[in-house]
C-alpha cells in the first residue's frame, strides 16, 4: 500500500460519500483499503466512478471486515461515490414481489382453463 493514496469524504445528509483512490507509482499495484464508513455491514454497496463508466457492487460485510481490494495500473485512479441498499431487505422484497407475480399468474391461468 506504499504507493497508494486514498481519501474519503463523509457525505452531507442525503448525499453519497466519496472515495478517491490513486496508484501513485509507475507500476501496477494492489492493496486492501479499510473504509471509514461503519454502516456498510449488512448492505450491498455500489461504487460508481464519477470520472468513468466503471461501476462495482460489493458486499458491505466484506468491505467492513477486509476492506476494498484495489488493483490499479500505473498512475491509475478512481473517484467513487458509494451508495448502499440493505442486503436482506432488498432480497426479501424481491422474493415477495416474485411470489406475488406467480400467484397472479396462477390465478389468471386457472381462470382461463375454467372458461
Q: How far apart are CA 9 and CA 16, in angstroms?
A: 9
The answer to pTM > 0.75 is no
DSSP structure string for 46-111: EEEETTSS-EEEEEHHHHHHT-EEEEE-TT-EEEEEEEEEEHHHHHHHHHHHHHHHHHHHHHHHHH
HSE-CB of 43 using CA atoms within 13 angstroms: 16
| Interval 44-62: pLDDT, tens | 999 999 999 999 999 999 9
DSSP-assigned letter for residue 11: P
pLDDT at site 114: 54
**Partners of 8 in the β-ladder:** 19
Task: Give all domains of the chain, ordered by start, each with its CATH number.
Answer: 4-114 (2.60.40.1180)
Average pLDDT, the chain: 82
C-alpha–C-alpha distance, residues 41 and 101, integer Å: 31
Amino acid at each position: 500500500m506504499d504507493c497508494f493514496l486514498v481519501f474519503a469524504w463523509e457525505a452531507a445528509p442525503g448525499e453519497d460519500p466519496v472515495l478517491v483512490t490513486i496508484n501513485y507509482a509507475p507500476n501496477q499495484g494492489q492493496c486492501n483499503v479499510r473504509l471509514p464508513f461503519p454502516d456498510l455491514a449488512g448492505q450491498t454497496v455500489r461504487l460508481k466512478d464519477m470520472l468513468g463508466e466503471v461501476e462495482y457492487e460489493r458486499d458491505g460485510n466484506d468491505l467492513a471486515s477486509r476492506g476494498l481490494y484495489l488493483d490499479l495500473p500505473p498512475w491509475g485512479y478512481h473517484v467513487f461515490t458509494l451508495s448502499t441498499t440493505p442486503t436482506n431487505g432488498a432480497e426479501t422484497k424481491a422474493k415477495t414481489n416474485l411470489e406475488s407475480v406467480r400467484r397472479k399468474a396462477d390465478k389468471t391461468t386457472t381462470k382461463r382453463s375454467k372458461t
